[in-house]
Structure 1
Amino acid sequence: MAIWAKIKQLNLKQTFILGKTFLFRPGLLFPTYRATRQTVQICNRLFGKAHHKNNKTNAFRHALWNFLIAEKSFPQLNEKTKAIAWAKEITDLHEKLSPNPELPRTMDLHNNEVGRSLFQQEITSKKIIEKLQEMMKEAQFVNQVAEIPNYPERLVYIESLKN
């Protein structure tokens, strides 16, 4: 996921929505960008292109992304609840601007929440990769939206790594 390539794909309305989001919080632009870039770099290094599918590596990426956005925006916001709310706002916006079918979107939103929950638990950035790799071993395969709420503390995925 090349960040600028994704931004270039936005239509005028989507670009306006994204710009407006950062207009009122300009200090969060660079921390959010750095978190996004770091997430992609880590996932590329660990998983190659596999994290672009709806598998366990994608679940890892979404959780890590939310954790890192919250972590990197925390110094600017000075409150964990605000950093978590920002991570939710920006990643929910991502899901809105680049919509998926219902099952992959719900999966992404769920894994985003897992990442924010880990940030709230005060796991260090040095331990988050190890923690998420452990969580991948217990990730739950789902094939219906209704199943996802049954796994509030676990990563979920909808495709095997072979796809």
Structure 2
Amino acid sequence: MPSIRMGIRSLLKRLSFRQILKLTRIMLQNPLLVYPTLKATRTTMIICDLHYGKAHHKNGKANAFRHALWNILICRTTFRITKNKEKSVSWAQKITDLHEKLAPNKPLDTAMDLHNNEIGRTYFLELTASSEEEIVIFLKENTKKAKKVTDSKEILDHKDKLVYLLEVDTGS
């Protein structure tokens, strides 16, 4: 498993100077939340690899699971520090929205990711006291109910559900 440090180096190599400054500014505003965010990111990838293999890197249900889980875990790990759900949700949104800007996709892919990120933050509010295992079970059940979309307007029809673009064999 690659280290967090290697992942950060790889990310920084792809960013422009302006993007690095923006990322640095956000991190300096909340330095105590950086490590928990990185830890949540690593945990998300480990869980997704375990449950879905490489399928979570495509735009199927596994990807929807990953984005929601990532947001839940960022909220959960930072909540231990902030002791405030709204601050943790706001931080997760800042970080994950920034990720979408720094690693741009096609517009529909981005819309899907932003939607699933938001669903994850909403789920966090329901799952604050849940264990990691309970969160994964809950999220897997909701992933089964995810809706396939073919354009951005359809996403608006599924405000409370995960969405995906492709049918991908997940092996699960």
- Alignment TM-score, normalising by the size of structure 1: 0.94
Q: 1:116 maps to which residue?
A: 121
Question: Are 1:3 and 1:37, in contact at CA under 8 Å, matched by a contact in 2?
Answer: no
Q: Distance in 2 between matches of 1:131 and 1:162?
A: 20
What is the root-mean-square deviation of aligned Cα atoms in Å?
A: 1.6
Q: Distance in 2 between matches of 1:112 and 1:12?
A: 26
Number of equivalences: 163
Counterpart of 1:158 (choices 152, 162, 165) is 165
1:162 CA drift (Å): 4.5
1:8 CA drift (Å): 2.7
Counterpart of 2:7 (choices 3, 6, 14) is 3
Gap runs ≥5 in structure 1: none
What is the correspondence of 1:12-161 to structure 2 with a 5 Å cutoff? 12-122=17-127, 124=130, 125-161=132-168
Moved over 4 A (4+): none
Q: Give CA deviations for 1:131-153 in whole Å, capped at 9, x if unaligned.
A: 11111211100001000011111
Identity of aligned residues (%): 44
Question: Are 2:55 and 2:169, in contact at CA under 8 Å, matched by a contact in 1?
Answer: no
1:161 CA drift (Å): 0.4
SS in 2 for 1:121: helix
Q: Distance in 2 between matches of 1:7 and 1:116?
A: 26
Gap runs ≥5 in structure 2: none
- Alignment TM-score, normalising by the size of structure 2: 0.90
Q: Distance in 2 between matches of 1:14 and 1:107?
A: 22
Q: Distance in 2 between matches of 1:60 and 1:134?
A: 10
Q: For residue 142 of structure 1, what is the amino acid of its counterpart?
A: V
1:92 CA drift (Å): 0.4
